[in-house]
A and B are shown apart, each in its own frame.
Chain A
Amino acid sequence: MCGIAGRIVTGGGQLGRNLVELMEAQEHRGADSTGFAVYGPMRDTGYVLRGMGFDKRKIDSDLVDFEHILRDHASDFISEPTVTIDNNAHYCFRMEIKDPKDIDAWVQDADTLTDRIEVQSCGRSLEIIKDIGGAAAVADKHGVRDMVGTHGLGHARLATESSVLPNASHPFWARPFSDVAIVHNGQITDYFTWREKLERKGYRFLTGNDSELIAVWVSDQMKSGLTMQQALTNSISSIDGVFTYMIANAEGIGFAKDRFAMKPLVVMDRNGDLAMATEEQAVRRVFEDEGDVINYDGPSMTALWSVGNRRFAA
């Protein structure tokens, strides 16, 4: 069991506060870790990176080595990275960087440091904030409530098959595509089959979490030129298991649901102002009054909502 959520705020606004509300209402579905994908103001150049290091005693040396790799790819820090630490061994960071010459090649090189430091999101607008603990704890630590933006995702994790560390938490970035994130509720039962296939194609997995597979799988679909809608539709027949996952990019949010109709998704749509969650009681934190609720309860379902409040495919 996990809980997922999405939110599109018409015209942009207090997105972070709403995402936290959605996840607080679903904390009983898993409080091992909580994560948020926040799509804030879009920049023309440069990326915001979010991530973690595994040992806070090595922050300085980690960042020096990370900077070297950035410079090897004609990039650098735009401003001094900010680091968040607490009693845990790990640390979390936020960086703004200049555009690497080739983002794919840079990600490959940056991945050589993933036993020490891991980039968890890279976006013109996307920032993934994820950490261990419930929604309020993670929100307080990282200032999520104050974040503004147009749309975003949330995830409450009940850890099962992989570790309870921020890197095994959701959302997952669909590396190396900037601004693409997924959250997932379910189990992927052909995980090892797909992982082997994708690793043979050169993809690298950073965790043992089956949800990471969806992010990597989506990357592979996008690399082959498919649209998000096509990837969503293909996933239903290609990936085995019981799942509902949501994917977001700079333009909007989509979801796909397995053939067995096991994992729910509830949506309230107020003229394009959207709240989506595993449980209806969560969307009621955003829209408290009684209103029409769309239950995506059937098998093999997909939908895509744009930030421009148009439902641009279904």
Chain B
Amino acid sequence: MSEHIVDVGKRHIKEINEEIQEAAGQGKEIRVVNTLSRHNLGVGLPDGTKIAFEGSVGYYCGGLNVGATIDIERNAGWACGEGMSKGHITVGGYCGMSCGAAMMGGTIHVKGDAGPRCGVAMKGGNIIVEGKIGYQSGFMAHSGRIIALGGAGASCADALWQGEVWVVGDVESLGVDVNVVEPTAEEVAEVDAILDPLGLKDNSRNWRKMVSGQRLWYFESRDASAWLMI
């Protein structure tokens, strides 16, 4: 497969994304250089695209991904992979606020820490963070899994719905309406199966699995104790 190099610099983002889409359409592997933390790079990439960003990217990189394999060498800004439905995004460094917001499928693998509200309102897929997930991560996650191997910030899994937050290490505090449950052996095996291809499987881990307490889920406004939760 031939390689196409895209130089970002100060060019207009629309022009850059058009060049990326054209190269993807021709089945070329794409390497993006001189990224300068610019926003909106590689949005809406088609299934089968292979693209690597050298350096750091800004907001919304890999958003609306429908099957591309995206490798970001260093940091990603806000909402990396927002609304993606398929594919794989790797962030080599830190991933900013709202990583994987409202994603529906696919995998985001963050090698560093993730910022606040990681996986906010996610509806499917997996987010694996080798470091720590930030404040209020998993907020209102409808489905999918967030797996953090380096602990979690305050208000973890706040107002979670059907999503799950798995954490190894310290959790600064739990959010509202969260239950910490003991995962079954089958569930741990499922998580290990996600981690194994990334070289992150470790049988000695002490997991904390967080799920919804379902009281906000079935919020009853006439119940005074429900208000006290929030």
The answer to whether B154 has its CB under 8 Å from any CB of chain A is yes
Q: Report yes or no: A280 in contact with B97, Cβ–Cβ below 8 A.
A: no
Task: Count CB-based A-B contacts (< 8 Å).
Answer: 53
Q: With contacts A280-B58, A290-B56, A293-B56 known, is A299 near B38, CB below 8 A?
A: no
For the complex, what is the distance from the CA of A299 to the CA of B96, rounded to whole Å?
14
In the complex, besides A261-B134, A298-B135, A299-B135, 18 extra interface pairs with C-beta distance below 8 angstroms are A261-B97, A264-B96, A264-B97, A279-B59, A279-B77, A280-B37, A280-B77, A281-B36, A281-B37, A281-B58, A283-B37, A290-B55, A290-B74, A293-B75, A295-B94, A297-B97, A297-B115, A298-B116
Residues of B within 8 A of A298 (CB): 116, 134-135, 153
- Partner of A299 from the list B59, B77, B94, B116 (CB cut-off 8 Å) is B116
Secondary structure of the A contact surface, majority rule? loop
- The count of residues in chain A whose C-beta lies closer than 8 Å to any C-beta of chain B is 14
Minimum distance in angstroms from B170 CB to a CB of chain A: 14
Residues of B within 8 A of A261 (CB): 97, 116-117, 134-136
The answer to whether B161 has its CB under 8 Å from any CB of chain A is no
- Partner of B36 from the list A264, A284, A299 (CB cut-off 8 Å) is A284
Partner-A contacts on B (CB < 8 A): 36-39, 55-56, 58-59, 74-75, 77-78, 94, 96-97, 115-117, 134-136, 153-154
Residues of A within 8 A of B135 (CB): 261, 297-299
Secondary structure of the B contact surface, majority rule? loop
Residues of B within 8 A of A44 (CB): none
Minimum distance in angstroms from A111 CB to a CB of chain B: 40
Minimum distance in angstroms from B204 CB to a CB of chain A: 29
A237-278 residues with Cβ-Cβ distance < 8 A to B are 261, 264
Q: Report yes or no: B116 in contact with A280, Cβ–Cβ below 8 A.
A: no
The answer to whether A86 has its CB under 8 Å from any CB of chain B is no
